[in-house]
């Protein structure tokens, strides 16, 4: 039987500590037009607003058709009911503004509708509020959709399977909410299940699909000792793991929190709009009153006609579309990027990336994986390379050095059986020694192994080692039982490293400068092979800061300066990341340092996500520009048409002004939502989109 503590966990409520509502009703903070309240009664949620607007629209249509088109007596009251439904929502939003001693668009819309009804035009007032409430509800649903694009990851979380100890010493596996897990707990993850928390793999070999976090479709092979991340999918064998962090501190939760914070930030243009929205609304009201007086007393129009013109002007000049032009596009862009494994820390980071003109790239850990991989075992003379690899793995079996890890992993990949050496000793700066049976073996530098290499093979071994090092690769010699071989290793390139320069050049990002602490020959060879414009070698961390600052100063002297970015691994490049106009950390799904130090975090390994992110940022910027241009242009054109038409006996109908104003708002929202349809970047090896983990999960479970 499980312990009392384990039984108690089963009954704990499964509530995510920092989760935000992810349903249709989860409307964002109001930007002046959307006034849905996710925490209030259903009537005032985003979905409730849409239902109310639909009801008001049907009543308005029936009332208009009955009283105007068909001239059916007693149907005009339907128009007034439609107006009343709209006023319920409009008055609530207007009252909330007045309570804060502000006068905004909600107040303008209510004033316009009431004045239209006062002038015996209730249909126009009802139409205004119908479209206004509908636009507000749709905006709330649109905002919620952008957040659900990230927060839906929580819905993937299954019940965790915990190993519990009974009072009699027996153990069994019991289901518990992921939120009840604590570090040190042991959990089991069957194939097709989503990993509930960050954990360390203890038992089993498997593959994990990380597409929900990184956007990459190729699964990652994992073995005991590897870290598993919450929200990723086990697509291989059953595994057991040890919990490293509670749900509230998992990689997934940090990502969700980061995106949520980013969505709450304002871009500079949006802060300006927010600052002037109330003065603008008061100005529109004042101008409308002035037009009424001038048209009535100055031009001699009847008071009712002058008021009709003033009300139409008030409606068409209301800046609903202007106010939502930036936040809807920004939130959609951030959400789309997050689904593709790219985290923007707010709209400002996206804006700066969209203006990227030049880029510095760290080498080790950024363009490369930051760890050596065995490329070849080169026998010297008549030696058996496979046998010598087994000896090398036996010598390095208990070592945590990166070279040792690479050799042991290569032996496992090749299926080479090996046993641990006896009397293994490590000599710093030279290598490792040990005994197999009664035969001594050494692995390391030429000087360390020379004594065990047959004299006739020493020159050849030195020659091969020299060629390897001249190519910028790592070479170590294994010598045993009269045999020798050079194990050739290199720091493998990240996926997409061979394409990133060409793709960024296509986007006009130039120059590209590689920064590295390695020797000049190695850095130069890599820069040339990758098509990178310039390189700087043998740099200390502080030297990278100097190089970034120098490039910024050089480019600032030119016309059309756009900004200098830096791509680093987010750990040892923090000073240089801070010196750049926009900083990007790559391959950092589990790196707290990257999440803290960089403006943008690429969670995957594939560098092709960087030019994709630049394209997305630029498209988001142009969407904002298009939204603002359309909104401001529509206001200007309709205001001129309203004023000029009224003086030329061709008055703009109030209903046309209402349709133009609210229709423009809906078009701005729709244009912003198109960002959510941007095609995913081409992941490593496949073209599966960023929802592949969800699809894979359903396939495995037979859904």
Compute CA 168 distance to the chain's CA centroid, rounded to the nearest angstrom: 48
List, by residue number, the catalytic residues. Answer: 362
Q: If you write DSSP's letter for every residue of 496-533 in order, what string do you get?
A: THHHHHHHHHHTT---EEEE-SS-HHHHHHHHHHHT-S
**Helix, strand counts (H, E) of the chain:** 23, 22
C-alpha distance from residue 127 to each of 43, 82, 334, 639 (Å): 19, 8, 34, 19
* DSSP for residue 608: T
C-alpha distance from residue 422 to each of 394, 396, 400 (Å): 9, 11, 17
- Omega of the bond leading into 46 within 30 degrees of 0 (cis): no
Enumerate residues 6+ apart whose C-beta is below 8 A from 647. Answer: 299
C-alpha distance from residue 58 to each of 61, 78, 82, 83, 150 (Å): 5, 9, 8, 12, 35
> End-to-end alpha-carbon separation of the chain, Å?
33
- Decide: helix, strand or coil at residue 639: helix
Helix (H) or strand (E) holding 476: strand 474-480
Closest CA to 210 of 222, 220, 225: 220
The two beta strands, 239-243 and 233-234, are unpaired
Q: If you write DSSP's letter for every residue of 227-242 in order, what string do you get?
A: EE-TT-EE-SS-EEEE
| Token couple for 666 | 């809906």
């Amino acid at each position: 039987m499980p312990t009392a503590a384990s039984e108690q966990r089963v009954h704990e409520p499964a509530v995510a500590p920092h989760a935000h509502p992810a349903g249709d009703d989860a409307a964002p903070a109001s930007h002046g037009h959307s006034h849905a309240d996710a925490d209030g009664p259903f009537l005032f949620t985003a979905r409730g607003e849409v239902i109310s607007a639909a009801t008001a629209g049907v009543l308005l249509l029936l009332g208009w058709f009955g009283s105007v088109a068909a001239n059916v007596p007693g149907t005009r009251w339907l128009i007034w009911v439609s107006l009343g439904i709209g006023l319920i929502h409009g008055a609530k939003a207007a009252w909330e503004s007045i309570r804060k001693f502000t006068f905004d668009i909600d107040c303008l819309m209510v004033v316009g509708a009431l004045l239209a009804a006062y002038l015996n035009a209730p249909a126009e007032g009802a139409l205004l509020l119908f479209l206004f409430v509908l636009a507000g509800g749709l905006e709330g649903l649109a905002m919620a959709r952008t957040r659900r694009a990230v927060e839906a990851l929580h819905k993937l979380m299954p019940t965790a399977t915990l190993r519990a100890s009974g009072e009699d010493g027996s153990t069994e596996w019991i289901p518990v909410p992921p939120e009840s897990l604590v570090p040190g707990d042991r959990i089991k993850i069957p194939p097709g299940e989503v990993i509930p928390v960050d954990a360390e793999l203890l038992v089993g070999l498997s593959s994990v699909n990380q597409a929900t976090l990184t956007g990459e479709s190729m699964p990652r092979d994992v073995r005991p000792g590897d870290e598993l991340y919450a929200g990723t999918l086990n697509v291989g064998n059953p595994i057991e793991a040890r919990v490293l962090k509670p749900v509230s501190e998992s990689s997934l939760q940090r990502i969700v929190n980061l995106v949520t914070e980013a969505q709450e930030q304002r871009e500079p243009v949006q802060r300006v709009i927010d600052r002037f929205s109330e003065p603008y609304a008061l100005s529109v009201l004042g101008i409308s009153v002035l037009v009424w007086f001038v048209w009535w007393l100055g031009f001699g129009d009847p008071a009712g006609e002058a008021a009709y013109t003033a009300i139409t002007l008030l409606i068409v000049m209301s800046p609903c579309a202007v106010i939502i032009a930036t936040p809807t596009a920004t939130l959609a862009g951030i959400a789309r990027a997050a689904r593709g494994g790219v985290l923007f820390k707010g709209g400002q980071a996206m804006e700066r990336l969209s203006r990227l003109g030049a880029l510095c790239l760290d080498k080790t850990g950024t363009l490369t994986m930051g760890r050596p991989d065995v490329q070849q075992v080169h026998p010297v003379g008549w030696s058996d390379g496979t046998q010598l690899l087994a000896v090398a793995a036996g010598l390095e079996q208990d070592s945590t050095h990166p070279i040792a890890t690479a050799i042991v992993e290569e032996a496992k990949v090749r299926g080479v059986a090996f046993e641990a050496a006896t009397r293994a000793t490590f000599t710093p700066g030279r290598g490792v020694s040990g005994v197999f049976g009664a035969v001594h073996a050494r692995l390391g530098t030429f000087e360390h192994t020379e004594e065990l290499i047959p004299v006739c093979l020493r020159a050849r071994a030195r020659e091969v080692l020299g060629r390897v090092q001249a190519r910028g690769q790592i070479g170590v010699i294994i010598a045993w039982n009269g045999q020798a071989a050079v194990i050739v290793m290199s720091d493998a390139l990240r996926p997409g490293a061979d394409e990133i320069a060409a793709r960024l050049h296509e986007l006009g990002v130039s120059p590209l400068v590689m920064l590295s602490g390695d020797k000049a020959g190695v850095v130069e060879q890599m820069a040339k092979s990758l098509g990178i414009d310039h390189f700087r070698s043998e740099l200390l961390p502080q030297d990278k800061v100097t190089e970034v600052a120098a490039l910024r100063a050089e480019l600032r002297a030119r016309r059309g300066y756009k900004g200098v970015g830096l791509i680093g691994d987010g750990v040892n490049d923090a000073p240089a990341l801070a010196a750049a106009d926009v900083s990007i950390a790559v391959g950092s799904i589990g790196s707290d340092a990257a999440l803290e130090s960089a403006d943008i975090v690429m969670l995957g390994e594939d560098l092709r996500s960087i030019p994709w992110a630049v394209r997305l940022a630029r498209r988001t910027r142009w969407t904002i520009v298009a939204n603002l241009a359309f909104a401001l242009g529509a206001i200007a054109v309709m205001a001129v048409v309203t004023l000029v038409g009224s003086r030329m006996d061709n008055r703009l109908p109030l209903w046309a002004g209402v349709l133009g104003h609210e229709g423009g708002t809906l078009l701005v929202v729709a244009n912003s939502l198109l960002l959510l349809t941007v095609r995913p970047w081409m992941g490593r090896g496949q073209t599966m989109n960023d929802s592949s983990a969800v699809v894979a999960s359903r396939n495995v479970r037979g859904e």
